[in-house]
Structure 1
Amino acid sequence: MFRMISSPHTHSGKLTAQVMLWVVFAMCPAILVQWFYFGYGSLIQILLAVGFAIFLEWCVTLLRKKTTMFYLSDFSVVVTALILAVAIPPYAPYWVILIGTFCAVILGKHVYGGLGQNLFNPAMIGYVVLLIAFPLQMTTWLPPLSLLHEPPSFTDSLYLIFQNHTTDGFSLLQLVNSIDGITQATPLDAAKTGLKNTALTHVTATPIFTPFGGLGWWQVNLAFLLGGIFLIWKKVIHWQIPVAMLSAFGLLATITWIIAPEQFLSPWTHLFSGAMMIGAFFIATDPVTASITIKGKIVFGILVGSLVYIIRFYGNYPDGIAFAILLSNIGVPLIDHYTRPRVYGR
């Protein structure tokens, strides 16, 4: 008798746990870069998210009367928690990451029956809930540490996350406004909101912008790009989705930028800003919620890239990765249906 197991199914002989551990390993360089540029907040958020996610997974397995270690040992919940933790502002209040992790693990994963049966990417479910419910907390980013007069220490980071102020009594908003009011947002958000009041050249002249993109942001995205290439080399993910997504977005962004360079950021700034690289290599390639056929992966990647372009250039949200991936997840069954390979002999 064959053993019946749930998806995701891989044809490389690797167990799900091995695949997830490779993903965690590939994310480590970007996590270290994020810690270097934005401080200890990212590491604290990761500890909170991973710890709470494991606790929730344990509780659900007990309620469903399942083998606890069997579900915990696949490390899928750890990957979900990691993605969510690095996506939110490093110094967001502790309850933000706890609520997001709950929504990701419970609403995004276990209400569908667990790993392999969820329709949407769990981490993006948690992120979108937070973005809609708590827009202020989710859009208040501390500038890179090199721009701060007094970067928060580890103790200050704990105080900011759990008590909303540093040991000296400074709130996050006060730290943000100590440089320039525009630096409280990501470079993408700064460009989108700043263009309503001033020219693009004035916006990009602020300290958070460099010739390569947002300070700290392009370095983090570069680290995710290298981690994604590593995953392709290890055959953990396929190249079709990230290449199709980045190509579709890059082509559309380039055409728009050529037509109106004074109104939009350059394509390379967009490609190395926000969650573009983690979205392309670590989120859109989720083997459960993405297309499974070769042609379908290309169509899925193009769809995600096109939706990100529409949201970033013409929508109200500056990034759009989460919304684009969730909307594309809806179309996966239809994409797979029309891109099925022809059966041999027919």
Structure 2
Amino acid sequence: MLAVQIADHGGPDVLTPIQVERPNPEGDQVLVRNHWIGINYVDLQHRAGTPYPVALPLVPGTEASGVVEAVGPTGDPSLVGQRVVHFGHLAGVYAELTAVPAANMVLLDDGTPLDVAAAVAIAGTTAHVLVREAVTNVAAKTVAVHAAAGSTGGAVVQLAAADGAQVIALTSSKEKAKVARQLGADHAIPLAAHPDPVADVQEVTGGRGVDIVYDATGRDTFELSLAMLATRGTLVMYGAITGTPPPFRLDRLSGITAPRRTAGSLSLRWASASHYLSDATARAHATHAVLTAVRKGNVTPRIVDRFPLSEAATAHRRLADRSVTGKLLLAATPNP
């Protein structure tokens, strides 16, 4: 079967289409014939081997949708033929077939398109965790969202707006700011065109600041995020695309030693969706909550391009150029 393998860390060219043996599901694993595979920024990190190494050779990927073709010796035979989405594991996803741990699989109803399921699996459930679990009750709160036109940031914008928050979108360009407004943001600030985005946030909020900042950018935006917070505000970090923020003194959260503002009693939280979706029940609940939001029109999949599995390197280049304002998918079958 066709798979895409990484034998050495590096740029997109290290993604090599190869023929490998069909995997045999073990234990309660299910063998899924993938139809659509989602591309995520973490895939680029696994390929590059930074900020943390992964064992090589590796068939990368962390989310896909398809149909169960077989089950392991202790698996449930009734799952054969079922439509599923699987995500949150690093187990040979850029491939026509993947042996998936049962806990990482969620059954889909017949009304859910497989491409939609693949497009919202990680971005959508991560947004669900950030908006509804990592910080609860965002209604009537003011939130700022970095990378607000990306697949996950855009989902955060949509869910927060649907749940009653006032949303300030932070984007890298005016074009992405326009996208964020279309997703439901009340205000959008393109950082490249605004030399003092903290002042802009202060103006929007009447000098108060925001209750919550969602930030997956990391080092490059960490100080901005802290400075945007209102007293008793919370910075929720869920990634570090530009690198890990430098160490800082804990008493800065008091506001007494803050370099720019006097907001105090701040909270800093790291939220990894995997820690909230650690079992099959939680994973299914989050997935179906997001798919319900899709059906209601509160979340849109925003699939912006699709590539054959053999062109995974092209998809990685596209995502790396930071121009994408939605989701990229790989087609794992000729006519999914």
Q: Same fold (TM over 0.5)?
A: no
Q: What's the TM-score once normalised by structure 1's chain length?
A: 0.27
Which structure features the higher share of strand residues? 2
Tell me which protein shows more helix as a share of its residues. 1
What's the TM-score once normalised by structure 2's chain length? 0.27
